[in-house]
Chains A and B, each alone.
Chain A
Amino acid sequence: MRDRSAPVSRRRMLGIGAAIGAAAAGGLALSAAWARRPAETGAELRSEVPLPQAFSVPLPIPPVLAPVASTADGDRYELVQREVDAEILPGFATRLWTYDGVFPGPTIESRRGRHTTVLHRNELPVPTVVHLHGGRTPAASDGYPTDLVLPDGWNGHGGHSMADDRAAVANLQREYGFPLDQRAAMLWYHDHRMDFTAPAIWRGLAGIHFVRDDVEDALGLPAGDRELPLMIADRAFDADGQLAYPSVDPTLTGEHGVTEPYLAGVLGDVVLVNGAPWPVHEVDTGLYRLRILNGSNARHYELEALADDGRALPLVQIGSDQGLLAAPVRHRSVPIAPAERYDLLIDFGDLPVGAEVRLANRLGTGRTADVMQFRVVRAGERTPIPETLADDLPEWDRSAAAVVRDLAFRAGRMDDGRHGWLIDGLPFDPARPDVTARLGDIEVWRLVADVHHPIHLHLVGFRILSRGGAEPLPHDAGLKDTVALRPGESAEIITRFDGYRGRYLFHCHNAEHEDMGMMANLEIV
């Protein structure tokens, strides 16, 4: 024997090999069985009341708010934020926080460049802040999280965890001014209070705000009854039929955040569209325009339209968060993260009267796999889909970027040692400048995520340059204000910071992440 040690027996070698192989195979099998496939960030609350049958409740359409005054200078609206009891589940009165007594809040219709003023009066038990998501809004009306409107008799501090010298606090009411010098798009307004955005949206503080313009009008897209705003939001209900939410402090006045199992995000087991559970809507055999908003706190959906003959109807995307695309993009299904919007055309023309089309969620399991249903009840007119859409999309070139920034969105610890969500290792602090951009500069941001993080920039729209180091996906077309990063994914976005100077934000729009630190200041100078 040349080997000094005794030769390892063949049987032993095989045994060692088999052990390594078994460990690897066992690990893979465990992962395959245990891990969520597809990945999902958040934990689901289970409702404790019997849930209605799917597709039995008619789809409500939020009322359009009438202006209290319209002059040459613009339109003025007034809204009251107040509590109501509403019937969401048949037979139960559920306490909601609402804009003007309805959930979703009343829809506001604006024209591009026509100044819109909205007076919000706070009759809720806690301070509020209104942010118009996607709005190109001066900083004073952008709803910075500490710019609180305090309710009558409020004598506490702001209720939030940080001091902020620059906060503009008002009593009872505030007038928000929106120049709306921006492309036609479906925006949405919602509460944005420091530390308590997620439970406030969950309780009902969200509504749709349309901006219209001549570019859109010229296309002759389906309108009126054929244009459907659809706010999709998941919720869960307790044994009394009240909204369940795992707040650390259910009064939403003290300690912020949610209990430990829900730190990654709160998911409900009931899918609401415009506030109704799994609703049904009657349509004709014509072309419809679906204006879809994911108003959920944390749930992602991948939407597809399945006819009862098993076919998937094409979803023709004509617009994104910030308005129309240059040309339609056909999808079999579209993924939608919290706060994202899609402008889709769907043609029921090939279906017979009596057909049913299920808007399904490929990421859901059990009842969350359903969203709503369309029932074809009469013949309608055929309308062609335009081949080209908008020609006013901004084009920015990478080489024109003044700054390239890397930003990491990850789990971590807050200053108090609690679990939180961090941007570049830091939890939100109103007093700390994070990104300072010069007005007019083009910048490229390279975003990296650990789990799902839908990243939203205030003030500006952006284009997606790449995703995961490769080309953007088909649904990344157009002008975005929220980009959904999947686990381990990265994206490069490009934008030009124009409009207004002042203090803005960028943040994760998983509302629980946002409340637990994943927000940062964007100062435009």
Chain B
Amino acid sequence: MQRQSTIAAPPGTAVSGWVLRAAATAQLAAGFAQPVFAGVYLSGDFDGLAWHVVGADLVSYLGIAQVGAAVAVWVRVRRAWPFWASLALVAGASAQYLAGMDGALWLHFPLGVALVAGIAAVFAAVWARPLPRRTKAAPDA
């Protein structure tokens, strides 16, 4: 499926696109905060663990919100990749959550790094180009 961008589209980003960008931005902030909380905790500050759990909850909720926004982008902007990318982040974050609860640090550390890289990549992708609303069916194929 080839969706050649944008000549026929009106300029600017659709509302759904802005929601997606907001979710990705919030997720970026929460994602980068997680290793901070982990470092505070492992440095001996017991409260760091509670923050790390709050951060994990936040990343999870934001991930789900981002999937919702990405569905809207798929419908309105006719772009599917934000949906699949957001879904992959939610799957990764869920595995990360379980690995953390289980104390499986062999998984938790590298997966955490990969997740933050993924969050950063998606953030860059959704901000790199406008996500304009398509009024008519875009030329598929």
Contacts and interface: CB of A to CB of B under 8 A. Distances in A.
Contact of A7 (B5, B41, B117, B121): B5
A474 interface: no
A397 interface: no
Contacts, number: 83
A277 B2 CA distance: 69
Given A32-B107, A39-B106, A2 B42 contact: no
A333 interface: no
A28 B49 contact: no
A225 interface: no
B42 A24 contact: no
A40 B41 CA distance: 21
B114 A28 contact: yes
Given A24-B117, A31-B110, A3 B103 contact: no
B93 to A, nearest CB: 13
Contacts of A37: 104, 106
A406 B45 contact: yes
A424 B118 contact: no
Q: Interface SS of chain A: helix, strand, loop or mixed? A: mixed
Contact of A24 (B5, B43, B118): B118
Contacts of B118: 20, 24
B111 A28 contact: yes
Interface string B23-53: 0000000000000000001111110011001
B109 interface: yes
Size range of the chain B interface in the assembly: 20 to 34
Contacts of B2: 10
A488 B46 contact: no
A40 to B, nearest CB: 11
Contacts of A3: 129
B103 A468 contact: yes
A327 B111 CA distance: 41
A36 B103 CA distance: 12
B105 interface: yes
Most buried by A among B42, B104, B106, B113: B106
- Shortest beta-carbon contacts, A-B, top 5: A408-B44, A35-B106, A24-B114, A446-B46, A27-B110
Interface of A: 2-3, 7-8, 10, 13, 16-17, 20, 23-24, 27-28, 30-32, 34-37, 39, 406-408, 410, 424, 446, 448, 450, 468-469, 486-490, 492
15 contacts: A2-B11, A10-B2, A20-B121, A27-B114, A31-B109, A37-B104, A406-B44, A406-B46, A448-B45, A468-B103, A469-B50, A486-B103, A487-B105, A490-B41, A490-B49
